[in-house]
Structure 1
Amino acid sequence: MDLHRHGILKFPNAGLLASSHDRGWQGVAAELRSHPSGDLPAIVPTQMEITLATRRCPGAQVSRKGAGLRQQTAVEPGTIWLCPVGVGEDDINISAPLSEVLHIYLPEDRFKALADLYGDARIRADTVRYLADVQDPLIRQIGLSILGELVQESSAGRMMVESAALTLTARVAQAYGHDRPDSAAPSTEEGSCPDRIQRAIAFIRDNLERDLSITELAAVACLSPFHFARMFKRVTGRTPYGFVSAERLACACRLLADRKISILDVALRSGFSSQAAFGTAFKRAKGYTPSEYRKLIGWTA
């Protein structure tokens, strides 16, 4: 399923400021758009849409009708709208231009995976309520994290986004759909999880130069993405994203000590998309640039 097709159909006149279309994200997509005033076409979504206003637009309001409900919402930073799978929106109007709005799309199968994990068939993308002006700090924080990666790509950013999408799916299902059962049946895989996580760790260390994903690592561990993310944190004390980021920086430090390897090669072999991205991430983590680090360890050109 092309998650970005929804935005093309629903927002034909909107400006596209940033898109995850070429990022290779799995199980989630995001678009940052500007919207002119006016009406939007009627549409029945085939994926979960979460919309987050990121800037205040004085006087702007969004009026929409779906599932027989009329909603009118002032647009303020942090305003959240939920539009579930299958809820037809047949009347949407934007009263004034919106300069920056984040749209996050989650596929229906992410909710199915969550239902399978907890053994609760009531967890479905089409049972989420059609809501506007949702006040949810967790969804807002996740949305802003995804926005940060969308506008400035980072090392292991894809993994961070995919992990965040798992949490986002769980939050939407838990808070705005049917609750998970009070007692989920214990997994028969629980006892073998440490060994499975160690397999994933070995795979990470052998493939740091690649663009790793949660889905791929979960497959190596023979776990669902939800179960893998939860068990990885339990076993290692870190999220998969945090672990991969730390491993890439440790690898970069080892490579920087070798006089024969250029900084560009260090960046690529450590899994960074470019020397510039590597330099930014390295300085943010270490407090100095790769060149400054080489000087600190006594390396001279």
Structure 2
Amino acid sequence: MDLHRHGAHKFPQAGLLASSGGRNWQGVAAELRAHPAGDLPAIVPAQMEITLATRSIPGAHVSRKGDGIRQRTAVEAGTIWLCPVGVGEDDINISAPLAEVLHIYLPAERFSALASLYGDARIRADAVRYLADVQDPLIRQIGLSILGELTRESSAGRMMVEAAALALTARVAQAYGHDRPEADDPFCGDRDCPERIRRAIDFIHDNLHRDLGVTELAAIACLSPFHFARLFKRVTGKTPCTYVSGARLERARRLLSERRMSLFEVALTSGFSSQAAFGTAFKRVVGCTPGAYRHRAP
């Protein structure tokens, strides 16, 4: 399913400021849009939509009706709207232009995977409540982290977003389902679990030049993405995103010290999308530019 089709259909007049299209994110999509005032077309979503207002617009309101429920919400920074799978919206109005709104889309399969992991059939994408004016600091924090990667690509950013999407799915299902899951949090106790993570780690180091994602690494470890992300941190002490980012920067340091490659070649070999992205990430962690590091290296 192309998650971006939903935004194109629901927001035909909205400006697209940033999109995850082309980023190869798995199991999540995001768009930053500027909305004009006016009515939106009716729609029945096939994926979970989470909307986050990133700016306060004094006097602006969003009115909408879905699942027989009519809502009118002031647009304030941090306000969240939830629109679950299968809930038809047939009356949506934006009272004033909105300069910047984040839309995150999660496929129904994300919720199915969570239900399978926890053995709880009540966890479904269509079981989330249709809500407006949600004040949830955790969802807000996750949304802003996805927004940061959407507008400023970083090393291992795809992994960070996919891991954030797992946490976002779990939070929405846990806090806003019609029936809140009560199952205990299971954890793999098999003796071969550390070995599964070792396989993923070996794959990471063999493929640092590639775009890596949590879904792909979970498949290497023969685990679900939810289970893999939790188990990886339990075994290594780091999230997959943090581990990959550190491994890429460590490879970059070694290549810079060897002085056999140009800065551009070091960036690509270390898995960065561009020399500019490499320079920004390297300086943020190391405290100097790659060129300066190479000059000072023995």
Q: Which residue of 1 aligns with 2:22?
A: 22
Counterparts in 2 of 1:28-177, with a 5 A limit?
A: 28-177=28-177
Q: Which residue of 1 aligns with 2:232?
A: 232
TM-score by length of 2: 0.98
Q: Which residue of 2 aligns with 1:276?
A: 276
Cα distance in 2 between the residues matched to 1:170 and 1:191? 26
TM superposition shift of 1:154: 1.0
Of 174-183 and 37-46, more deviation after overlay is shown by 174-183
TM superposition shift of 1:191: 3.0
Cα distance in 2 between the residues matched to 1:186 and 1:106? 24
Q: Which whole-Å deviations, capped at 9, do the CAs of 1:160-201 have from their partners, x for residues lacking one?
A: 1000000000000000013223336665x6432111001000
Q: Which residue of 2 aligns with 1:205?
A: 205
TM superposition shift of 1:225: 0.6
Of 129-138 and 178-187, more deviation after overlay is shown by 178-187
Cα distance in 2 between the residues matched to 1:271 and 1:63? 44
Q: Which residue of 2 aligns with 1:182?
A: 183
Q: Given residue 286 of structure 2, which amino acid in structure 1 is its aligned partner?
A: K
TM-score by length of 1: 0.97
TM superposition shift of 1:133: 0.6
Q: Which residue of 2 aligns with 1:195?
A: 195
For the 8 Å contact 2:257–2:297, the answer to whether it is kept is yes
Cα distance in 1 between the residues matched to 2:23 and 2:144? 17
TM superposition shift of 1:152: 1.0
Cα distance in 1 between the residues matched to 2:113 and 2:140? 23
For the 8 Å contact 2:47–2:85, the answer to whether it is kept is yes
Paired residues, what number?
297
Q: Given residue 182 of structure 1, which amino acid in structure 2 is its aligned partner?
A: A
TM superposition shift of 1:260: 1.7
Percent identity of paired positions between Structure 1 and Structure 2: 75
Q: Given residue 268 of structure 1, which amino acid in structure 2 is its aligned partner?
A: L
When residues 51 and 229 of structure 1 are mapped into structure 2, their CA distance, relative to the original with a 3 A threshold, is: same
**Structure 1 segments of 4+ aligned residues over 6 angstroms from their partners:** none
Q: Given residue 179 of structure 1, which amino acid in structure 2 is its aligned partner?
A: R
Q: Report the secondary structure of 2:2's partner residue.
A: coil
Q: Which whole-Å deviations, capped at 9, do the CAs of 1:11-42 have from their partners, x for residues lacking one?
A: 01100000001100000000000000011011
Cα distance in 2 between the residues matched to 1:274 and 1:120? 43
For the 8 Å contact 2:114–2:123, the answer to whether it is kept is yes
Cα distance in 2 between the residues matched to 1:140 and 1:13? 26
For the 8 Å contact 1:118–1:181, the answer to whether it is kept is no
Cα distance in 2 between the residues matched to 1:166 and 1:138? 13
Any stretches of 5+ residues in structure 2 without a counterpart?
Answer: none
Q: Report the secondary structure of 1:257's partner residue.
A: helix
Q: Which whole-Å deviations, capped at 9, do the CAs of 1:74-123 have from their partners, x for residues lacking one?
A: 00110100000000111000000000000000000000000000000000
Q: Which residue of 2 aligns with 1:258?
A: 258
Cα distance in 2 between the residues matched to 1:141 and 1:211? 25
Cα distance in 2 between the residues matched to 1:22 and 1:45? 22
Cα distance in 1 between the residues matched to 2:156 and 2:108? 25
For the 8 Å contact 2:114–2:170, the answer to whether it is kept is yes
Q: Report the secondary structure of 1:8's partner residue.
A: helix
Q: Which whole-Å deviations, capped at 9, do the CAs of 1:247-271 have from their partners, x for residues lacking one?
A: 0000000000112211111101000
Q: Given residue 248 of structure 1, which amino acid in structure 2 is its aligned partner?
A: R
When residues 184 and 76 of structure 1 are mapped into structure 2, their CA distance, relative to the original with a 3 A threshold, is: closer
Q: Given residue 137 of structure 1, which amino acid in structure 2 is its aligned partner?
A: P
Q: Report the secondary structure of 1:208's partner residue.
A: coil
